[in-house]
Amino acid sequence: MAIGGRRWRSQRRRKESSPAKGLRRRLNLFRAAAFLFVLIFLAQLGRMQISEGKHYQQQAELNRRRAILVPAERGVIYDRNGQLLVRNVPSFTAAIVSADLPNDKQAEVISKLERLLGVSGASVQEKIVEGRSRQPLYAPIPIQKGLDRETALILKEHQAELEGVVLLTESTRLYEEGSTFAQLLGYVGPISPEEYENLKGEGYDLNDKLGKTGLELTFEKELRGRPGVEEIEVDASGRKRETLSFQSPQPGQSLTLTIDGELQRKMTQYLAEGMGASQNAAAIAMDPRTGEVLGMVSLPSYNNNIFATIPDSQKLDSLVNDPRHPLLNHAIAGVYPPGSTFKIVTGTAALQEGVATPRTQITSTGQIVLRSQYDPQVQYVFRDWAALGSLDFYRAVAFSSDVYFYYLAGGYENFQGLGAGRLAQYARDFGFGQRTGIELPSEAEGLVPDPEWKWDNLKEPWLTGDTYHFGIGQGYVLATPLQMVNLVATVANGGSLFQPKLVRSITDSEGNVIKSFDSRLIRQVRVSNSYLAIMREGMRQAVELGTATTAKVPGMKVAGKTGTAESSVLGPDGKPITHGWFVGFAPYDDPQIAVVVFLERGNGAENAAPIAAKIMNYFFHRQDPPNPATKSGG
């Protein structure tokens, strides 16, 4: 069809060029992305202002206000006479608050600390990284502890250029006489990550210190006190502008000990002078009427002041690797065969059980011979230290006859002895094979053997010879010096086995007594006082005319028992080295002090008893005695 002479055709849309189409698509995508960004921004803004507004408000507030823990002053420790044994002295620590240390200035600050403190930059960097992973950003990370006052003042002068660096003033323990009381007091040290995990619920901080050994550990809760809180306002650099509030710390409580400081010093001196070639030695003095420990010495000791700050690695290594084990309190943690001092148990048990009387006569020709129960052709010889002849009970104790106590313990021919079972029962009744409960960590139990123990542990039957050795404190029986002094104190006081006590009272910072510790009776032993009196008389004769005459104290009656125990260690001559023991008490008719002296190498009469005599003499007369004559025997 034609219109106006023209052919009609439909109107078609002109096709766009390809570049224009691409431009339009990119423009639409940009608009969509911009719209989406605005939506996300608005959603995030809403979340931050509405749902998490409180959290960010707190964060902003934290940048301005901070709560700082104020450590409590740790309680101090006194001896029984009020003498200060440990106190607190100020100590300075350089630390970094990582939240206040700009990343772009960290290298510069570390370099300045290197120059001012003489520390390794690498170690500072390592401490910062470790601190950031373990604690909040606003908690100080210790960089160098134990700064002297001059260095602290220099650091204070440069603090304006040390962003994030703070100077902390803390208290450090000062142990007045170091090694003299170290085994008793112990020391405090930095809290470990494991300890922190267990104690953080009790208000401990990662930078806290706590008791590690000794009374510092046992009475950590009482000595520590309660930290306070200071709320401060800081500027943009994290420096304090003003204190907003302050909650005072509560000082720790203090301890008053049963220890006589002057006696402790003399015991340390006498033991050091008399221990000879011994690798270790111990001495304990106790009031037999109460169980109060008047002095406790373990040698060698160590200076616990080296732990007041970060200990020198070389000194620490030398202590840990020392074969004499100076970090071990041998008085409570060392276990040894008690030798003839154990005859006190065998003798009193035999009296109580009717195995012997004071008039029981036994002849020592220097040995007894026992035929093997499995092969009569085999004979075993059990020797005495001398051929002592005919003995009654008193002389057997006084001259420490092994043969006499072989009879009492295991019997011989027609004489019926106690036997291993009954002897073990009495040993346990006197406190052997169990901890005494003294207020110190790491106390050893010792060992009371019997046929069941031997079979369970060695898969061997118990023999009569085992009972003989048991009866004279040899073989498998093991005891601590503390158990031995508790034994002699129990005999001295008529049979009351007390729990040894080191702490008399706990006082607050004003000196008011919060808690007193009364004597605690563990039990009354199953030996009547009349039989204990017979043993006491035998021990008096031992000092008057027997093996323990070197324990005499001028003008005073002393009762005691020596012991020379063979050990499992061979000496240069191929023979077992011997441990020297003495246990005793004075005065004989009114016991006020019980003493044990142990030497890892030595003889009871020649080495241990003279030391004990000096200790008892000083306790009563407060002066050094003349050197007594030597005496040999068990």
- Average the pLDDT over 473-502 and give the result: 98
Per residue in 500-551, pLDDT (tens digit) is 999 999 999 899 999 999 999 999 999 999 999 999 999 999 999 999 999 9
**Pick from 328, 349, 605, 335: which is nearest to 483 by CA?**
335
Rounded Cα distance, 47 and 265, in Å: 71
Q: How far is CA 226 from the centre of its chain?
A: 23
Tell me, what's the pLDDT at 54? 57
3-state secondary structure 373-433: CCCCCCEEEEECCCCCEEECHHHHHHCCCHHHHHHHHHCECCECCCCHHHHHHHHHHCCCC
**Band (38; pLDDT cuts 50, 70, 90):** low
How high does pLDDT run on average in the chain?
Answer: 88
Angle between helices 402-410 and 464-471 (to 10 degrees): 130
Q: What is the pLDDT of residues 582-617, one digit of tens each?
A: 999 999 999 999 999 999 999 999 999 999 999 999
- DSSP summary character for residue 201: G
Residue 1 has pLDDT above 50, yes or no: no
Which residue from 398, 621, 490 is spatially nearest to 613, judged by alpha carbons?
A: 621
Is residue 175 a contact partner of residue 76, using CB atoms and an 8 Å limit? no
Look at residues 421, 443, 427, 145 and name the one whose alpha carbon lies nearest to residue 293.
Answer: 443
Of the listed ranges 196-205, 276-285, 495-504, 615-624, the least confidently predicted one is: 196-205
- Rounded-to-integer distance, Cα 435 and Cα 453, Å: 18
Distance between CA 599 and CA 172 in Å, rounded?
35
Tell me what pLDDT residue 629 has. 46
Question: The domain 68-257: what is its CATH number?
Answer: 3.90.1310.10
Instruction: Tell me how many degrees the CA angle 30-36-38 measures, rounded to the nearest 5.
Output: 105
| Angle between helical axes of 420-429 and 343-352 (0-180°, round to 10) | 110
Which contacts of 103-111 are long-range, i.e. CB under 8 A and separated by 24 or more positions? Answer: 105/163, 109/162, 109/163, 109/164, 109/165
Asked if residues 219 and 197 have their Cβ atoms less than 8 Å apart, the reply is no
Q: How confident is the model at residue 135 (pLDDT cuts 50, 70, 90)?
A: confident
CA distance 513 to 172: 25
Q: Residue range 80-85: average pLDDT?
A: 97
Across-strand partners of 90? 171
Contact 478, 336 (CB under 8 A): yes
Q: Among residues of the chain, what percentage have pLDDT more than 70?
A: 88
> Which range among 43-47, 133-137, 168-172, 382-386 shows the weakest confidence by mean pLDDT?
43-47
Taking each continuous run of H as one helix and of E as one strand, the counts in the chain are: 21, 25
The per-residue pLDDT for 50 is 59
Domain boundaries, the chain: 68-257, 261-621
Residue 169's beta-bridge partner residues?
92
Q: Is 148 helix (H, G, I), strand (E, B) or coil?
A: coil
Please state, in angstroms and rounded to a whole number, the distance separating the CA atoms of residues 70 and 56.
27
Q: What single-letter amino acid sits at 96?
A: I
Instruction: For 513-524, write each residue's pLDDT tens digit.
Output: 999 999 999 999
Q: CA–CA separation, 386 vs 564, rounded Å?
A: 14
CATH superfamily of 261-621: DD-peptidase/beta-lactamase superfamily (3.40.710.10)
Residue 360: predicted pLDDT: 98
What residues are paired with 524 via a beta bridge?
A: 496
- Span 415-468, pLDDT tens digits: 999 999 999 999 999 999 999 999 999 999 999 999 999 999 999 999 999 999
Question: Among 320-324, 344-348, 409-413, whose mean pLDDT is lowest?
Answer: 320-324
Question: Over 50: is that where the pLDDT of 573 sits?
Answer: yes
Starting at the earlier edge strand, list the strands of the sheet with 593-599: 293-299, 281-286, 593-599, 576-586, 559-570
Query: Which band of pLDDT confidence, cut at 50, 70 and 90, is reported for residue 3?
Result: very low
CA angle, residues 466, 468, 473, in degrees to nearest 5: 90
Neighbours of 48 (CB within 10 A): 12
Contact 111, 290 (CB under 8 A): no
Query: What are the pLDDT digits (tens) for 91-129?
Result: 888 888 877 888 888 888 888 888 888 888 888 888 888
CB 278 within 8 A of CB 602: yes
DSSP per-residue string spanning 447-501: B---HHHHHHHH-----HHHHHHHHTT-TT-BB-HHHHHHHHHHHHHTSEEEPPB
Task: Please report the pLDDT score of residue 170 as a whole number.
Answer: 80
570 CB-near residues (< 8 Å, 6+ apart): 576, 577
Q: Is residue 587 within 8 Å of residue 556, measured between CB atoms?
A: yes
| Rounded Cα–Cα distance for residues 448 and 425 (Å) | 9
3-class SS at 166?
strand
Give the tokens for residue 105.
């200035």
CB 375 within 8 A of CB 409: no
Per DSSP, the residues of 14-57 read PPPPHHHHHHHHHHHHHHHHHHHHHHHHHHHHHIIIIISHHHHH
- Topology agreement, domain 68-257 and domain 261-621: no
Q: How far apart are CA 609 and CA 614, in angstroms?
A: 9
Residues 6+ apart with CB under 8 A from 170: 71, 90, 91, 92, 93
Residues shown for the chain? 634
Which residues is 185 bridged to in the sheet? none
Tokens 């922190």 sit on residue: 196
Task: Give the residue from 151, 128, 148 showing the smallest Cα distance to 139.
Answer: 128
Copy the structure tokens of residue 171: 């208290």
**How far separated are the first and last CA of the chain, in Å rounded?**
149
